Every structure is written in C-alpha cells, then in structure tokens.
Amino acid sequence: MKPRPEASRLKDKEPAGFQGQQAPALWQQLAAVAQGLQAIVAGQSSRSVLDQVPERLRPGVQALLFQVLRQLGRARALQKQLAPRTPPPHVSALLCTALALSWDEEQAPYPPFTLVNQAVEAAKRGPAKAQAGFVNACLRRFLRERQALVDATQADPEALWNHPAWWVARLRKDHGEHWRRILQAGNAQPPMTLRINARKTTLAQYQQALAAIDIEAIAVMDTGLQLARALPVQELPGFAQGLVSVQDAAAQMAAPLLLEGMAWPEGRPLRVLDACAAPGGKTAHLLELAGQRPMEVWALEIDAERARRIHGTLERLGLEAKVLVADASQPGQWFDTHCAGQLFDAILLDAPCSASGIVRRQPDVRWLRRESDLTQLARIQAQLLDGLWPLLQPEGRLLYCTCSVFKVEGQDQLQAFLNRNSEARTLPAPGHLIQGLADKAHGVADNRAGDHDGFFYALLHKKR
C-alpha cells in the first residue's frame, strides 16, 4: 500500500547515495526505533542512541523515533489497557513504538495495519521472538478496538498531552491560560530556521539563493530565515563557506539584546564573555553583529569535547574568539590567569537548564527529565549568576537566558538574584517567551520572531 505523506518525507531524508539502492524494510526501522526507545527509557539521550544506528537506517529511524517520543504518553496508556502487567523492557518498547505511530491515523506515517504487521515481524526477528505471539495478540486487539481503547485513555494527562504528569502540573501553575498551548507546541514539529552571517551576505541575497533551489523562506528577526521545509545543512547554499548557520529565532534574540545600545569603549575593544558557549552559535552571532567594530570575545565551556565544537563553528564562519575550557561558576580558576583580571563590558549567560523550551526539537528530554532536576539546575544557575556578576564592569550588562519555560529557571531565578544584588537593575527584555504566541502582549520581544522555541531572557545592568 502507498505510504502516507510522512513516510514519503522519511524517504526524502535518506542519505546521499542511497537512492537506487534497496530501501530498508520497515520492520528493520521499527526494530531499531524500539531498541533506541528502550535505551532512552533507561536514561540515554536520543543523540547517543542515534549515533549507534547504522548510517543507512539513521534518517528514517530518527524521524520515526522522534514521532514515537512525541506520542509516548498515549502509547504507554494504551499499553496499560492492552497489557495490565508491564511486559519486559524490549517488548514494552516495541509495543509502544507500534502504538505511538499508529494510534492516530491522521498522523500515522503508514497505515496502522501496516505498522502492526511490521512490528510483529520485528518481534519475530529480534529479542522479543519468544513473546512475538503476545505482541501480535496485543496489536491485533488494538486494531479491532482502537477507538474504544483511545477513549479509555482520555482521562490520563500523560496520554492527553504526551508529557509527564508533573510537567503538565507545573506548566498549569506557571503559565495559567497558556499552559495548553505550550504543551501543544512541545509536540509539534519545529521549523528549520537559519541565521545569515551579516559579514558575508544579506537576508535578501540569501533568500534568492534559496529560491534558486526551490526553497521558500520567510524573514524572522533581523538576520533570520525560516524555511518552508527542512533540508540537510550540506545542501544549504554557502553553508561550508560560512554564509549561514542553523539557529532558532528565539536563540537569535540573545546577541542583539546584549549588544543593542551599548557604547563601544574608546581606545580598546569591547570585552565580552560568553559563559556557557558550546556549540558556539551565540558566540558567532556576537562577532557577526560587531562587524568592523573591535570586540574581544571569550567563549567559556566546561566540557572539552563541546569546546571543540566552538572551534569548528568559528572556523567555518571565519571568526575568532578566545575559547577556554573552564567552569564559569569558578572564576578563581581562570579569570586572572586567562583574562588578566580585566572586567568584562558584557556577559552572556545561557545557563544550563531543563531544556523544556526546546522539547519539540529534543523530544526525549521530557521523558529523561525528573522534577527534582529543576531544583538542582536552579542551584547551578544561581551559582553561575553569583560567580559571574563580580566580573562585570560598572555600567556593564549581563544577559541571563535559559531555553526553559519553567519559572523556577526564569522569572523566579531573576527575582532571587535581584533580591541578593542591590546594584543590579533590569533593562527591557522579553522575559518568558511562550511558543505559539507571537505578540508583544504575551512577552514576545519581536512579533517578527515567527515560530520560535520557548526561552527566558533577562537583561541586567550593573549600577555604579
């Protein structure tokens, strides 16, 4: 039977050179997805899981796995209806894979009975072989009673919203009337958004380059383009030459917010610290916006492997910064040694957080994160703010941001910092950016931001 449109999109993502070869069987992809799901449930990230998938299978497996993760709450609830006793992990992962992909026929990448048939085939050929009959019985019953089973799960908040129950409850508390929209946005497919390198091209010029390869794009922000459809970065015109980078519209607000209205010092470069810099997108954006004005940027990253990614980003874009592998919360270990004890004019702190605002891009996060993690992350954020604030020049500014929609990592964190520091005052900034709301009345800094991730921004000025 002809595959659904989503299945066709999966085929479009096959690696270069694959066309003309025999496509992998659907059961193979489902088996790989189930194996990946089992690993994620056990605590691995989707990135590490996908790195282990054979390159030939990876594009299709990633697309299917992300769809499964976005529908996992419903799949788990349906599995409880079909199998009250929790089956072994590998069996549960395969059942949830099939149920997540097939419960909603409109979103199913293939007809539900095709998915069920291929899931049973995967069971017969894999570690669930001994339970293949059980898998078959559960999924055949699902096909017979699908609507009744779905109706029976409607009262389960995890099934209804496909987020953990604690996540749903916290958003209801934090964001009142907008909590439903945030959850819906977290289950949507994100757009691909680009940031043009203003040193090398313009929005109009790059739009023309995209149009030449039949890619439509709309302008978002001052340097952003949102694509009508995603494509591999290798196919972006001039990507290798540094004309463009991939960066969500919300993240593109950071560098302009920090630099807008700043007076450049006379006789020396503007000194800027990007405190948690990997993979280097915001570092690069700062340098791009500086243009011909002198700027020295220190890009700090605690993880050596991630710091190497900053070097790669800067090299591709033809930019230079001083990259340090160090803990931003412990300036005594690096500030005097590497920065000669000279205070910064501006500091960008994109702090470690729950990543709850980018869950549509990293759908595994919602199932890996625990509510208790928020307390630990808030403590780290406070340590970073307190450690970096003394490194800022009087009359300097610090931009605090997180890709989180939880207030404990945003507004609450800001208020606690202001309570501890009488010399700090706030400058205009978006606050909490809510996905799906594109107007200033709801906290979005610029209604040209388009379809953006969830973020929090606070801009702090240091009084003399």
Active site residues: 403
Q: CA 116 to CA 105: how far, in whole Å?
A: 12
b or e along 435-459 (b: 16 or more beta carbons within 10 Å of the residue's beta carbon)? bbbbeeebbbbbeebbbbbbbbbbb
In 106-199, alpha helices (H): 112-125, 132-144, 146-152, 157-161, 165-175, 179-186
CB-based contact 361:451 (threshold 8 Å): no
Q: CA 31 to CA 194: how far, in whole Å?
A: 34
What are the tokens at 329? 């919360």
Q: Hey, what amino acid is at 180?
A: R
Q: Is 225 helix (H, G, I), strand (E, B) or coil?
A: strand
Q: Is 419 helix (H, G, I), strand (E, B) or coil?
A: helix
Q: Hey, what amino acid is at 54?
A: P
Q: CA 164 to CA 156: how far, in whole Å?
A: 10
Q: CA 65 to CA 13: how far, in whole Å?
A: 14
Dihedral sign computed on CA atoms, order 61, 67, 70, 72: negative
The dihedrals phi and psi of 328, each to the nearest 5 degrees, come to -60, -25
Q: Hey, what amino acid is at 9?
A: R
Q: CA 220 to CA 280: how far, in whole Å?
A: 21
* 279 cis-preceded (ω within 30 degrees of 0): yes
